[in-house]
Amino acid sequence: LGFLAKQLDVPIENVATDGPGLAFVAYPEALLRIPIPQLWSVLFFFMVIILGLGSQFAGIEAVSVTILDKWPHLRKRQYLVQIGICLSCFILAIPMCFSGGIYIFTL
């Protein structure tokens, strides 16, 4: 962000706010201003995707282990528990695809 603030000649506080504006507005704008912006943009968004997938694996594993510890008889069907968790997350994420999704995201 310091690089972008220097390029735009504005204080760093005015470059971007926190939240989605930082990751999807300020950083891509900064990446456009450095040499080989296509390479850095691909690497940045690849990193964002990998971080998101890692977070999803950790979240699903935490819920799955909690359920399987609470009800040990479900361990024989662990894959069904994980499929159920994934389907529940999918259904709960559907509102994010509509125009009000950004308001839910910023909560």
Q: What residues form the annotated binding site for Na(+)?
A: 51, 55
Half-sphere exposure of 37 (CA within 13 A, CB side): 8
Q: What is the CA radius of gyration of the chain?
A: 20
Distance CA 107, CA 105 (A): 6
- Contacts of residue 80, defined as CB under 8 A and 6 or more positions apart, other chains included, come to 74
Distance CA 48, CA 70 (A): 33
Annotated binding site: 51, 55
